[in-house]
Amino acid sequence: MDSETTSQQPKTSQVETKPKLNPNNRSFKLQAENIDVFYDDFQAIKDISLDIVENSITAFIGPSGCGKSTFLRLFNRMNDNIDGFHMNGKILIDNKNIYDESIKVEELRKKVGMVFQKPNPFPKSIYENVAYGLRIQGVKDEEFIENRVIESLKQATLYSEIEDNLDKQALSLSGGQQQRLCIARALAVKPSVLLMDEPTSALDPISSGKIEDLIHELKKEFTIVIVTHNMQQAARVSDNTAFLYMGNLVEYGDTQKIFTNPEKDRTQNYITGRFG
């Protein structure tokens, strides 16, 4: 997990300052270079290049079907199994092309965690949900697993609500708790990148608020990319925002600028709700 050590370097002192799209000394964690994605003949992503700064939150916004989820899922290769999927271009994580033949997908996904639209805990206990990532890696040390489970649950701000019920069936939790459990589950394998595909769209406003606070907190340790339909959410949580439309990257930049003074008319129209 070399990526982790790089994120712990002195650079983190800059986390407090507002990250710029092109920071001076902070490295790019994720880089997309000239990405085209096709599903059979349909082109879902059209020549997108975009760099994402370490320890920042980047939001992908755009109308349904614009390709933002497809784009997000490139970073942990979750599109690979979809029928008819093929692509051109490179995705670099820590300067390594993750679509290179030498990359093992399982190893990649340990570094790049993902949280889905609908909370999807396994039909197991809370404890076993969080422990799953470690167990499939072959970790046998039960004490180590237990510590990591508790640490992850705390990090996901869920521990205080369920600390006496770790053996309870995960599906008995509320929707918001389930989603935080899914975040804890992703954190337990110590990724350095966290992908979130509309993580609050199935939740009520209060649960959504908790998740947003949590995302803010997690930024200190993780590079977060979030797809969202909720414009206010993008404005609230993200440092940078990318607006996608029909597979094109229309505009990408500082969130505040995108939401107050976008360069393109189309962006303006979308964020003010005139279409989409």
x/- binding map, residues 213-242, to other proteins, per CB under 8 A?
------------------------------
Cα(117)–Cα(189) distance, integer angstroms: 20
Cα(187)–Cα(6) distance, integer angstroms: 17
Which of positions 120-179 make contact with other proteins (CB under 8 A)?
120-123, 132-133, 135-137, 171
Cα(44)–Cα(67) distance, integer angstroms: 6
Contacts for 65 with CB less than 8 Å, ≥ 6 apart = none
Cβ atoms of 209 and 240 within 8 Å: the answer is no
Which of positions 101-130 make contact with other proteins (CB under 8 A)?
106-110, 113-114, 116, 118, 120-123
x/- binding map, residues 34-73, to other proteins, per CB under 8 A?
----------------------------------------
185 part of the interface to other proteins, by CB under 8 A: yes
Size of the site for other proteins (CB under 8 A): 27
- Of 166, 162, 122, 164, nearest to 146 (Cα)? 166
From the list 173, 182, 237, 271, which residue makes contact with other proteins (rule: CB under 8 A)?
A: 182
Cβ atoms of 171 and 132 within 8 Å: the answer is no
Residue numbers at the binding site for other proteins (CB under 8 A):
76, 78, 81, 83, 106-110, 113-114, 116, 118, 120-123, 132-133, 135-137, 171, 182, 185-186, 189
